[in-house]
Each structure stands twice: as C-alpha cells, then as structure tokens.
C-alpha cells in the first residue's frame, strides 16, 4: 500500500497538473473563440479538469489532515485561519494587479482576466476544501452511526453536484436553485453537530470565535472578488454558476455562524470540561475514603459505570481473576458475545491485556483498537494491575470505528488506577495493617523514583547510549539523564546523592528538576555546575550534598566538554590507542560550598572523540562494592571489565559489566546504589 506521504505528494501533483490543464484549455478555447479559428474542441474539457482539481485538492487535505487519536480543536481552527490568510493575500495581489494596470489594455484583455480568475479559482478551492475537511473533523467528533450515514450522504451529494455542474446550469436557474436548496438543507442539519465546543475552556472558546469569525471574513472577501470578476462579462467559466462551490460557501458560512453562536452561549458553562476532569481526579481519591461495608463488587460496579459514562461507550465488561475462575461483570453485551469479541481483536497488546499477560506500563496508543464484529467496531482495553500483577481487565466498546481517542484513555486509566488502589486496599486489610502501609509507601516511592529516570535516552545517529541503575534499598539517590537542547548538542549528567533511602530519593528528585530546568537550553558545563550548586544550596539540608559530572556532547564538532563536581572520574576509551583515560577536573560536590566562592572550584575540561571511542560513567556504588572478603571492586575492576568486553554491542557490554560486578560480589548485599552509563560514538 502507498504511504501517507506518497499519497499527499501524488494528490498535490495531480492538483497542480489539473489546474494547468484547466487553465490551458480554458484560455485556448477563449483564444479560438476570439479569433474565430476553425478548431473543434469540447468546452467540457476545462469543466472536467476543474472538477479533477477539486477532487485532487480534497484528496490532498484528507491525507494532510489525517485521522488522529488526539484532536486539538484550536490547531484545526488555526489551520483554517492560516490557509485563509495565505489565499486571501494571493487574491489581494490579483486586486493590486488590476489597480496598477487598471487603465491599460492588458487589464481589459479577456485572456488576462480569465488567467487571473483561474488563479483566484485555485486559491478559493484550496481555502474551501481545507475548511470543509476541518469542518468535517469537528462535526464527526464523537460520531454516531446516524451522523456517519448523514455525512456520507452529504458528501456523495456534493460529488454528484460536480457532475451536475458539467451541464452548464446558470446561477438562480430552477435546476440550480433546487440542487442548492437540497444541499443547503443537509448542510444546515449537519451544522448543529458541535460537541467539540463543550471541551473548550473559556480562553479557548474566545480564540475559536476569533478564528471562525475570520474564516467568515475570508469567505466574504472571496465572494466580493468573484462578483467583481463576474461584472467584467469576460469570464468563460463563472464559479458562481457551479452548485458545488456555492454549496461549499453556504455550508462553511452556516457552520461558522452556528458555531460562533453556540460558543457564545456556552461561555458561561466553559468550566464543564474542567469539572469533568476534576471528577476523575476526585474519583482517584476514593481508596482513602472507602465507606464502611463497601465491597469489592461495588467498586467494580462504580468503575464500570463511570468508565462507560466518561467515553460514551455502548457496551463494556470487567473481568477479574478470582483464583482459578474469572468473574465477569458486563453492561450492554451478552457474556456469550465477549468470547467472540476477544477473537476479533487484531492488536497484539490488547490480546495480551485480555489474556492477563501485562505486567508493565503501557502507552495510551496501544490500548485503542478496532474490531471486525457485526455489532462493535472500536475497543479500549485497560489492564487492572495490583503490585505489578494483572488481576483483571476492563474493555469498553463502541458501535462505530475510530470512536475512542487518547484523552478518553487518560480518563479511563485514572479510573482503573483508582480501582486498582481500592482493590489493593481490600487485600491489604487481611494482613497486618501497619506493615502493609509501610510497604505501600515504599512501593509508591519506588514507582515515583523510577518515573524520574528517563525511559528513553535521547541520542542521534552519531552515538549510542545505554544506562543501568539499581538502588541498594527500595529507593535510592543515583540519577542520570540526557537532553538535546539544540540539534547535535546533548547535555548529559550523572549524579549521586549523599545518603540512602527516601531522603536520598527526594534529593534526587530535586536534582532532576534542576537539570531539566537548566539543561533545556545551550549551557556550558561550568555554567550548569555553578547554577546547579546555587539552586541546590537553597533546598538541600546542610548535611546533604550531591556529586555529579556534567557533559556537553557536541556531535557536530566531535567534542566533549565536561565538569566534575566531586564525582567518580569518567572513563574515556580511545579506539585508536586502545587506552583508557580518567576524565578528572577540579571540583567539589554540589551543596558543599553554598556561596559565590564555589565558582573558583569548578574546572572545565574538553576532549575530542573519534568513531569507536567510548565514554563510561558510574557512581561510587560500583567502585566501592565489596565481596565477602571486604575487597572492593574498584575502578581497576571496572576498567578490566570494560577492556574485556570492549568489542561487544553496547547493550551486551552493559549486561556483561554488571555480570562481572555480580560475580565479584558473590551474592554479597550492596552497600550503596550503583549506576552505569555507556556512550559509544559512531
């Protein structure tokens, strides 16, 4: 199948070719008629190529404004505004031409008039069709079967009007008026589908009113231009004599006018959507205020009903694993049909959810799927996880395709997460309450800390990067991260918070916030270290500090700039010399010196790298790891391990080095958190 990008290019090429052929045959026939040449050529040709221009433009914008799980309504209206602005500027240039050459013969020449008119036609088609496609996206938001059928009928009627226009019906003729009234009636009915307005806040509603109002002004400007050209009596093809274009004008004006009125009337209720989201947040607090006597069954009922209401689902079921059997609660669907639904799911991840195979976090894009079932076409499936174990699944169904989006998934995920907490609380009551409460706090802290470390390390095709981190306790204080503030420029950090446990994890979160605040822009290593020390000095306890190394990887100039704030020296392996260099510069830990004198202790280093070179960063938990004989692994052990595995792929090298460390420890417990980061330059 053709890719979406190729379809866009082909439709654009077809549109340009159609306009060139339309203009050529239109002007050629005008030339033949004016000079009375004995050449036979059908006057249907320019009409046909005008229709192909319309169809090509429709295809272009349908592929450009593609289906998406997430609809940003203001972005769509902004697209209408920008397209209208560009096309209006083009039409104004045509008016400037007539103003400049108004008294000359060239501006009165029918060939000139028709050529400029054909340019205006192309601009109007671009604006009308792009706005039509956007209006379609807005109308079909949260669509139903009846709405899809009505819209399909309207679109086919518009295509039929393209054929109708080939027979030369004049503006306000009986046939013209009949077709226009029919299409206008359909347009009026469709124009009242404005569900998207309810999801705008107060500020967004005012912006949408402005954009829609401007779209109407553009249409008014285009109509004036069309009537101005019609007054010349020199046109071979008058756009106002074509039902298709007049119908588009009517439809766009109707929808714009009704949308403005409805938006104005909805301004006092602009907080509805915010309240709906707040209800989802409030629902998440349910586990902390479970009424006495409420059972797990009641929690499941609340989850099912709330989820269906939030996403306008036609049917749903909730399945909970209970020992060897599965407990199923359903709404709007027979239990016998559930098995059929499971077999029609095509997405592999949803299959895993429905078969209890999910034990990790998921993205919202993976849980939305389509069904090949007579009654249902769309599905959302969310796993119910308790302590990283799937105990059930929630499935929501809709009768139409593409009925769900990512905003809906976020709300349902909130509900499911809340229900998971509630279910877990019911289970924890059966055990010692104080002990379980302590475990839950550690679990939450570990989950929070895990989310602070990057799940994906940014890089480009100039280098590869992998990392590994393990806490000695439930939570730890090691941190690593990388950000690309500018193309080809990467800010890399590795840090170790003094101490262990929850206090170290809290300070690690402080370090992450500071790194993301400073490293989002171009900054030198010395400037970063100085500013980080200033910020940490205001929030760390006096007894706490953080060691760190900060690097700027310049993949354009193949240079590495770095500073070391009391951290273990980084190891740099040169592929050409096959030697390892310690990256050492002067520097003290962040938060030790909390005054302006810290700057004098910061020294910046710079090295160049070549393809094949490697950078290894680590925390002291690796170097100070001890075996049963109290021997430390040390930087020597790390260097030897690196050299032994230097030719391995980066991911395998990481596993091999960690494996050497585990072998050295010989099941001895870690005394400190340990983190490893490897960068190999290509």
Beta bridge partners of 674: 470
pLDDT in tens, 45-65: 888 899 999 999 999 988 887
- Residues ≥6 apart with Cβ < 8 Å to 200: 73, 74, 208, 263, 266, 270, 273
* Length of the chain as a residue count: 682
Nearest to 571 by CA among 643, 474, 625: 643
Per residue in 245-280, is it b (16+ CB within 10 Å) or e — as a string?
A: bbbbbbbbbbbbebbbeebeebeeebeebeeeeeeb
| CA atoms within 13 A of residue 84's CA, in its CB half-sphere | 23
Low-confidence ranges of the chain (pLDDT < 70): 1, 35-42, 66-71, 269-296, 323-324, 426-446, 448-449, 474
User: Distance (Å, rounded) from C-alpha 616 to C-alpha 678?
Assistant: 5
By the 8 A CB rule, do 676 and 571 touch? no
User: Distance (Å, rounded) from C-alpha 587 to C-alpha 502?
Assistant: 27
User: Distance (Å, rounded) from C-alpha 144 to C-alpha 121?
Assistant: 35
Nearest to 392 by CA among 331, 327, 437: 327
pTM of the model: 0.53
The tokens for 610 are 């070549």
Nearest to 257 by CA among 184, 177, 331, 200: 184
By the 8 A CB rule, do 529 and 491 touch? no
* Structure confidence at residue 623 (pLDDT): 87
* Structure confidence at residue 291 (pLDDT): 46
CA–CA distances in Å: residue 135 to residues 27, 187, 192, 193:
34, 11, 12, 10
* Structure confidence at residue 68 (pLDDT): 43
Question: Domains of the chain (ranges plus CATH)?
Answer: 70-270 (no CATH), 292-428 (3.30.450.40), 446-681 (3.60.40.10)
Nearest to 391 by CA among 399, 400, 382: 382
* Structure confidence at residue 272 (pLDDT): 57
CA–CA distances in Å: residue 559 to residues 369, 491, 554:
46, 12, 5
By the 8 A CB rule, do 359 and 390 touch? yes
Lateral strand order in the sheet of 463-470: 463-470, 674-681, 614-618, 570-574, 579-583
Q: How far, in whole angstroms, is CA 502 from its chain's centroid?
A: 33
């Amino acid at each position: 199948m053709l890719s979406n990008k190729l379809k866009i290019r082909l439709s654009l090429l077809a549109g340009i070719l159609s306009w060139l052929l339309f203009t050529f045959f239109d002007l050629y026939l005008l030339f033949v008629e004016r000079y009375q040449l004995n050449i036979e050529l059908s006057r249907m040709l320019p009409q046909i190529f005008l229709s192909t221009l319309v169809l090509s433009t429709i295809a272009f914008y349908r592929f450009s404004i593609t289906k998406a799980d997430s609809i940003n309504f203001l972005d769509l209206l902004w697209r209408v505004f920008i397209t209208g602005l560009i096309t209006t500027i083009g039409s104004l240039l045509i008016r400037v031409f007539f103003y400049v050459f108004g008294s000359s013969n060239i501006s009165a020449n029918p060939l000139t008039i028709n050529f400029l008119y054909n340019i205006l036609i192309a601009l109007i088609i671009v604006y009308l069709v792009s706005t039509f496609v956007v209006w379609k996206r807005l109308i079909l938001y949260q669509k139903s079967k009846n709405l899809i059928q009505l819209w399909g009928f309207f679109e086919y009627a518009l295509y039929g009007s393209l054929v109708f226009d080939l027979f030369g019906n004049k503006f306000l003729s009986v046939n013209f008026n009949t077709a226009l009234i029919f299409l206008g009636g359909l347009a009026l009915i469709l124009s009242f589908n404005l569900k998207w307005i309810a999801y705008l806040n107060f500020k967004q509603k005012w912006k949408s009113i402005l954009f829609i109002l401007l779209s109407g002004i553009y249409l008014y400007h285009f109509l004036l231009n069309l009537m101005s050209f019609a007054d010349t009596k020199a046109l071979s093809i008058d756009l106002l004599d074509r039902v298709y274009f007049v119908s588009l004008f009517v439809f766009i004006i109707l929808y714009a006018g009704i949308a403005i009125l409805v938006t104005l009337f909805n301004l006092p209720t602009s907080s509805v959507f915010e309240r709906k989201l707040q209800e989802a947040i409030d629902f998440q607090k349910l586990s902390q205020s479970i009424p006495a006597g409420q059972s797990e069954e009641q929690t499941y009922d609340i989850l099912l009903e709330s989820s269906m209401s939030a996403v306008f689902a036609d049917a749903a079921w909730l399945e909970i694993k209970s020992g060897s059997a599965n407990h199923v609660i359903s709404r709007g669907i027979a239990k016998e049909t559930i098995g059929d639904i499971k077999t029609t799911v095509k997405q592999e991840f949803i299959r895993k959810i429905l078969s209890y195979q999910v034990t990790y976090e998921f993205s919202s894009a993976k849980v939305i799927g389509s069904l090949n079932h007579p009654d249902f076409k769309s599905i959302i499936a969310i796993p119910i996880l308790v302590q990283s174990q799937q105990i059930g699944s929630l499935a929501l169904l809709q009768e139409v395709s593409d009925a769900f989006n990512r905003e809906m998934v976020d709300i349902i995920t909130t509900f499911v997460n809340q229900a998971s907490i509630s279910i877990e609380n019911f289970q924890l009551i059966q055990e010692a309450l104080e002990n379980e409460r302590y475990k839950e706090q550690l679990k939450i802290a570990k989950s929070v800390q895990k989310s602070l470390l990057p799940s994906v390390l940014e890089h480009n095709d100039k280098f590869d990067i992998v990392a590994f981190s393990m806490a000695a306790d439930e939570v730890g204080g090691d941190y690593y991260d990388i950000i690309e503030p500018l193309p080809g420029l990467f800010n890399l950090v590795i840090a170790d918070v003094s101490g262990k446990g929850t206090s170290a994890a809290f300070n690690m979160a402080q370090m992450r916030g500071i790194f993301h605040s400073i490293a989002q822009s171009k900054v030198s290593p010395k400037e970063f270290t100085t500013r980080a020390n200033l910020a940490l000095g205001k929030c760390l306890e006096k007894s706490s500090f953080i060691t760190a190394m900060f690097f700027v990887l310049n993949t354009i100039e193949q240079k590495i700039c770095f500073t070391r704030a009391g951290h273990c020296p980084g190891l740099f392996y040169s592929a050409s010399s096959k030697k390892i260099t310690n990256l050492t510069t002067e520097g003290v830990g962040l938060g030790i010196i909390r005054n302006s004198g810290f700057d004098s202790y910061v020294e910046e280093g710079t090295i160049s790298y070549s393809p094949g070179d490697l950078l290894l960063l680590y925390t002291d938990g690796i170097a100070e790891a001890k075996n049963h004989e109290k021997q430390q692994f040390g930087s020597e052990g790390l260097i030897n391990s690196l050299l032994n595995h230097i030719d391995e792929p980066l991911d395998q090298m990481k596993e091999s080095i960690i494996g050497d460390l585990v072998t050295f420890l010989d099941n001895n417990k870690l005394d400190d958190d340990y983190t490893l980061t490897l960068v190999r330059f290509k």
